[in-house]
Structure 1
Amino acid sequence: MKILHVTDSFHSGTATAIEQYAGLTPEHDHLLLANNARGAAAPMERCPGLFVIDEELPASPWAAVAAVRDAVRRHQPDVVHAHSSFGGAYVRIAAALDRLTPGRTAAPVVYTPHSFAFERDDVPTWKRRVFRGMEKSLLPLTTVGAPCARYEGELMKDLGHLLPGDVPVLVVPNALTEDHPVVPGSWSPTIPQTVGVVSRVTPQRDPAFFAATARLIRAARPDTRFVWIGDDDGKDPALGAVLADAGVEVTGWLTGEALRSRIASLSLVLHTARWDGFPMSVLEARRIGVPLLVRDIPALRECPATARFSVPEDAAAKAVSILDSGTDPAFWDGVDREHSPERQRALLADVYERAVV
C-alpha cells in the first residue's frame, strides 16, 4: 500500500512517532506531507530513505486542505494517515470535499491525534468546546481511529457517542523501536545530582509547576541542580523567565547524541505536562534507565501509581526520596510491555488493513 502521512506538527514526539510507523511497516510505501506550523522551530530532519515522497504542507489552513487534496490526486494513496488535531482537520475536510466533487475519490483516513486540542487547559472553556465540537463533527469522516494511548482512545470513542455509524478505534501505543538511537541502560548520572524535564517550554508542559517543585527540592537538598532540556516555541518568552527565576538552566534545543547524553546524565526526570497523549520522552527515559516521575493526568494513568504526582509538594517529596536512594522504586514492566514495538507494529498493520477494507 501507499500511506500518505500528513501533519502540521512534524517535530518532537509526533515526528518520532510518524517515522517509527514508517519504519515498522516497510512493506508499504510511506509518503510525507508535513510542516511544523504549530511551533517556532523548524521541522525535524527526515530519516533518510524512509519516505518515498517528502513534500511541504502549506502553513495556511485552506492552502493545507488544498495541498492534501492535490497530494491525494497526484499520488493516489491507499490510506491517508492524519497526525495531530490540525492535521486531522485538514485531511478530513479534504476528504469531505473530495466526496462532494464529481470524478474525485476520497482515500480512507486513519487519524492519530497525538493529544486532542480540546484537552488543553491553557485556553478559554469556549475555545475548548469549539475544538471538541470540531472533532465530533469530523469523526464520521474518519475511517479508523488510531490513538496513541488508552486515554486518547477513550476520548475518541466518547466523541462517537450518539453519532450515526460506528468508527472503529484501535489504540496503537507509542513505542521505541529496537533500532532507536537511545541506548538501553545508558543511565550515567553526574555529580551534583540533577533533576530535569525533557520538553519544549510551553504552557502544556507547565514550567511554573517545575519551578515550584525545584524550589521545594532545593530547600531539602540545596546542592541539587535543575535543568530544562529544550527551548520555548517563541510564543511566550515569559515562561523561560519563570524557570530562570527558580534557578533552572534551560539548555535550548538539543538533538542526537547531545540530547541523549544529557538525559542519561540526569539523576531524575520529571514529566510535568498538564495534558498529553502518551509522550515519547517517557519511553526514552525508560529505555535509558533514568528514574522517572510523571504528573497524575488521565493520559498517564497507565504509569505506576508510585511514579505519579499531583502537586509540587508530592513531586518534591517523591523526588527527594529517589535522590536519597539513587534508584527508581516504581514497577514499570506493565508499561514497557504495553508500549512495545511488537504490539505497535501488529496494531498498526491491523489499522491499515481495516482502513482499506
Structure 2
Amino acid sequence: MARILHVTECHDGGVSSAIRKLVDLTPEHEHYILLDGGDLDVSRATREVRMFRAKGMLKRTLEVRRAVADINPDYVHLHSSWAGAYGRITPLKAKTIYQPHCYKFDDSSLSPAKRWIYRAAEKVLSFRSDKTVVLSEHEARLTFELNATAACFYVPNVPSCEQVDEEMTSGAPEDGARRVLMVGRICEQKDPLFFGQVAKLAASSPVLSGFIFRWVGDGEHDLREALQDDGVEVAGWKQGNELLAELDAGDYYVHSASYEGFPISILDAAARGLPIIGRSIDALIGSGAYLAESPEDVVDALERAEVQPEFQEALLDRSKLLLAARTDADQERAWLNLYSSSVEVTS
C-alpha cells in the first residue's frame, strides 16, 4: 500500500474526473488531495482534502512542502503544469509523479517566445520528476524530447460515466431539437471560438439550421460571451446525473480543443452512444476518432451524418473503437504498475 498526495490547481473538468477515477480504481492505496478549483466532488475513497490557502508560486510551493511534512506520502502526484511547478521547484521528501494533462508549450496559438519559455521550464523541471504519466503517444514523444531518460508511464484515460448502447439512451429533449455538444472548460486550450464558428456556419445550413449548439462547462468571461454571441448555449458545469442528462439529450459531440493530453469528455460522449467529430490535433491522431481540420469540415461532417445513415453509423462504430482501446481494466493495471514499480523507463 502506498500513501499518495495529489496536488492540482485545476480541479474541475477533465482533471477532477481523472483524479476521481484514479482514486476509485486504486482504493488499496491511501489518497490525499491538495487542490484549488471549483469542483470539490472527490472520490469517497479519498482520505483527506486540503485547499490551497494562498496565491503565488512561492507560497503554494511552501504549502506543498507543509502538506508533505504532515502527510508523509510515498508519492506526490502533481496534476497539470502549475502543480507540477509547485511540487518540483524544490526537492520533496517523497517521490514525485508528474502528470501534465497536456503540455502548455504544445499550444500553437502561443508566440514562439512563450512556447520556448514554457518548454524550457518543463525541461528543467523534468529532471525532478521520478515518474511522468502520459495519456497518448504524442505526449510521450514530448516527454522524451524534454528528457531522454524520463521514466514515462502511459495510462489511458477512460470514461467517467457508465457505458450504454446508443439504442438505450432515452434523453431526447421535449422540444425535439437536435443538439451538438462540447464539454470542457471555456478557455483558449478548448478553443471555444472554433466551436462558435461551427455554430455560426451551421445556422446558415439547410440541414443544420435548427440545431442547438450547447457548451457544457464554464470558464473565462470573455470567451463565454463570444460563444453566446455565436449562438451557443452555455450550460455551466455539470456533474454526475446532470452531466449524463446533457450527454443523453445530445445528438453529436464535437471536440474543438486546439491541443490536449487525451480528453475524458470524448470518452464520456462515446460511452453515452454519441457520434463524435474531433478536431485533427496531435493527441487525437491515431485514436480512432473521426477528425476534422476546420469548422467547415465539421459542418460538412454533421450534414453528411444527417443525410447519410451509413456515415452516422460509421461514426458510432468509431466511438465503440475508442472505448474498446481504453478500458477500466487497462487503466487499473497501469495505475498499479505506476505506484508499485521501481523507477524505470517505459515507452
TM-score normalised to structure 2 length: 0.89
Residues 1:184 and 2:164 are matched in the alignment: yes
Number of the residue aligned with 2:125: 138
Alpha-carbon contact 1:268-1:323 (below 8 Å) kept: no
- Alignment of 1:220 onto 2:206: yes
- In 2, the alpha carbon distance for the partners of 1:292 and 1:342 equals 23
Q: Tell me if 1:341 matches 2:328.
A: yes
Identify the residue that residue 250 of structure 2 maps to in structure 1.
266
Distance of 2:313 and 2:90 partners within structure 1: 47
- Write the mapping of 1:39-50 to structure 2, written as runs, cut at 5 A: 42-48=38-44, 50=45
Whole-angstrom CA distance in 1 between matches of 2:22 and 2:14: 12
How far the C-alpha of 1:334 sits from its partner, in A, is 4.1
Residues 1-357 of structure 1: matches in 2 within 5 Å? 1-36=2-37, 42-48=38-44, 50-57=45-52, 58-95=54-91, 98=92, 106-161=93-148, 166-176=149-159, 180-185=160-165, 187-188=169-170, 189-190=172-173, 191-218=176-203, 219-221=205-207, 222-231=209-218, 233-234=219-220, 237-304=221-288, 307-325=290-308, 327-330=312-315, 331-355=318-342
Conserved 8 A contact 1:32-1:51? yes
Give 1:270 shift: 0.3
Determine the C-alpha separation between the residues in 2 that align with 1:206 and 1:138: 27
Deviation at 1:174, TM superposition (A): 0.7
Amino acid at match of 1:354: S
Cα deviation code 1:147-198 (max 9, x no counterpart): 122221121111114xxxx22111111113xxx5445235344422111211
User: Deviations for 1:297-354, whole angstroms, at most 9, x for unmatched residues?
Assistant: 001113336x100011111111111223463413344432332111111111111123
Query: Relative to 1, partners in 2 of residues 1:332 and 1:261: Cα closer, same or farther, differing over 3 Å?
Result: closer
% identical aligned pairs: 29
Assess if the C-alpha contact under 8 Å between 1:108 and 1:355 holds in 2: no
- Residue 299 of structure 1 aligns with an amino acid whose one-letter code is A
Q: Structure 2: how far apart are the matches of 1:252 and 1:25? A: 30
Q: Closer, same or farther in 2 for the Cα pair 1:183/1:354, shift >3 Å? A: closer
The residue type equivalent to 2:150 in the other structure is: V
Q: Distance in 2 between matches of 1:52 and 1:136?
A: 33
Q: Return the alpha-carbon distance in structure 2 between the equivalents of residues 171 and 356 of structure 1.
A: 14
What residue identity is the alignment partner of 1:77?
P
Unaligned runs of 5+ in 2: none
Please say which of residues 181-190 and 309-318 is displaced more in the overlay.
181-190
Counterpart CA distance in 1 for 2:236 and 2:15 is 19
- Aligned CA distance change for structure 1 residues 312 and 356 (closer, same or farther; 3 Å): closer
Q: CA RMSD in A?
A: 2.0
Stretches of structure 1 that go unaligned for 5 or more consecutive residues are: 37-41, 99-105
Q: CA deviation at 1:74?
A: 1.8
State the TM-score, normalized to the length of structure 1.
0.87
